[in-house]
Amino acid sequence: MGYVYVVLGQSDSVHKAMASSRGYVVPLILGALVASLLFALLAALVLFRLLTARLRRLTSAVEAFRANGFTAPPQLPPAPRAQDEIARLATVFGEIGDRMVAQLKQLRSIDEGRRTAVLNASHDLRTPLAALRGYLQTLLMKRDQCPRRSSTITWKSPIDMPSVWRGWWNRCSSSPSSMRRKRNRSARRFPWPSW
């Protein structure tokens, strides 16, 4: 058996106490709610920063590698003990960066070798052609002074060519009187055919 108590009316003092407590409860609840939301937001930001710190370090290493023109291997942050996706990504990026640097060095050395070969070939071709051009220009300038007999050149091999040109040069650079003597001597020995 139990008893049931029923309160039929409230006294004025209880009513006044409840009315005065409503003014404190609402601001207290709102303040606690705002403070807990701010704490949760701050905790989320700190946690997010901690979780993305390794990713930010990897991103800055990638940007530094790109900024230096891919000439030096990337300086990656030390790998943590845990082998998660970010650690594997950093390892693979380091291998790719090392390979890129090695390939770029190899391309530069091949390009330098190609330039050297072209310069050497150009020089090897230009020097004899310049000498030949000089001889021909000299002969064209002095064609009236050269004997008619020397207008044909025959040589046995390309090695004889400098000696043939030296002979022409000696004949064409002689004084006019010595050239006349040479011409008369060669005309007596080898008469020109009449055409």
Tens of pLDDT, residue by residue over 101-156, are: 999 999 999 999 999 999 888 888 778 777 778 877 777 777 666 655 544 555 45
Q: What letter would DSSP give residue 35?
A: H
For range 28-56, the mean pLDDT: 94
CA nearest neighbour of 70 among 99, 50, 48, 42: 99
- When computed from its CA atoms, the radius of gyration of the chain, rounded to whole angstroms, is 51
Domain count, the chain: 1
pTM of the model: 0.48
For range 76-98, the mean pLDDT: 84
Is 50 a residue whose pLDDT tops 50? yes
Q: Which of residues 75 and 155 earns the better pLDDT score? A: 75
Q: How much is the pLDDT for 195? A: 44
Instruction: Give the pLDDT band of residue 96 (cuts 50, 70, 90).
Output: very high
- CA gap 72, 98 in Å, rounded: 8
User: Residue 117 belongs to what domain range?
Assistant: 52-145+162-172
- CA gap 39, 18 in Å, rounded: 31
For range 144-169, the mean pLDDT: 56
Is 49 a residue whose pLDDT tops 80? yes
Note whether residue 135 is domain-resident. Answer: yes
Q: Choose the weakest-confidence range: 17-31, 141-155, 174-188.
A: 174-188
- CA gap 145, 122 in Å, rounded: 34
Q: How much is the pLDDT for 21? A: 65
Note whether residue 113 is domain-resident. Answer: yes
Q: Which of residues 22 and 46 earns the better pLDDT score? A: 46
Note whether residue 66 is domain-resident. Answer: yes
3-state secondary structure of 191: coil
Is 51 a residue whose pLDDT tops 70? yes
Note whether residue 9 is domain-resident. Answer: no
Output b/e per residue, 129-146; b: 16+ Cβ within 10 A: eeeeeebeeebeeeeeeb
